[in-house]
Amino acid sequence: RIVNSTETVEMNESPASALRQKKHSSIRVAVDLVKAGEAEAVVSAGNTGASMATAKFVLKSIEGIERPAIASIMPSVHRNHPFVLLDAGANTDCKPLYLFQFALMGDAYARTYLHLENPRVALLNNGEEEGKGYLDLKETYDLLKQSTLNFVGNIEGKAMFRDKVNVVVCDGFVGNIALKVAEGTFDFVRSILREEVKNSLLSKFGYLAMKGPFKALRQRADYSEVGGASLLGINGIVIICHGNSKVHTFRNAIKHAQECVDLELNNKIAGEVSENLEVINQAKTLNGGE
């Protein structure tokens, strides 16, 4: 089924403006279809801010969740052990309550989409020792210790990819920078390898011998293999893709969305919230809580 839309949200357009004025955009039409029960998920490579704002306004947040978060699947040194990074860009200024709820959503996501029985959850910080970081991080640390989650403490950025944890929690400002640095580093390494291969005949023969491992590296590190990042905490499945996504990326993003629907991801998130209501209520009494 193809549903027509008559308006376009530009990539540099204000999310608030798009939400108010572009009620017939493809983003709004898609989200409205989910709200009406005529679709089960949204996959968008459009304006990220507009996609998030529209999804939250129309579909609303899951009960008990204050802010949605973007969860990105990241590779680790172990072939079959990717991890979840969130928030990857939805919220730049986060209170302990928000960070704690991100951890709950990340845990549910890892249990469902990554099929992990007891995910290891860590807080991204500037050191592994307890007591590191600014006040909000210290308070979040204390909340996580009291939760039902398998909280393993703080983790530094350099250790994220070492297969030590399954869920890394941070605010959207730090998470988006971490994501972009990781993507940029992969592109940097790939460019250097291509340049060095061209330098000599021996290098070209070496490349032919290593073509398989190089292909495996690309498949493990390339975001297009996952398709997109999940917007968690919304009453509906929403996958956010890069604006330059190709057919291969969209195919994987649609598959990603279908899996989240089939695995009833949002029910798992609601369950995590229910199990940790006491800690959530405590978080609301902290400085900066709701």
Asked if residue 5 belongs to a domain, the reply is no
Mean pLDDT of 139-163: 95
207-223: pLDDT as tens digits: 777 777 777 777 676 66
CATH number of the domain enclosing 39:
3.40.718.10
Asked if residue 6 belongs to a domain, the reply is no
Question: What is the extent of the structural domain holding 142?
Answer: 15-287
- Using the Cα atoms of residue 268, residue 271, residue 277 and residue 279 in order, give the sign of their dihedral: negative
53-107: pLDDT as tens digits: 999 999 999 999 999 999 999 988 887 889 999 999 999 999 999 999 999 999 9
> How many domains in the chain?
1
Distance (Å, rounded) from C-alpha 20 to C-alpha 72? 28
* Per-residue tokens: 33: 């279809």
Residue 233 · residue 65 · CB < 8 Å: yes
Query: Residue 142: is the preceding peptide bond cis (ω within 30°)?
Result: no
| Residue 267: pLDDT over 80 | yes
Asked if residue 7 belongs to a domain, the reply is no
14-39: pLDDT as tens digits: 989 989 998 999 999 999 999 999 99
pLDDT of residue 205: 75
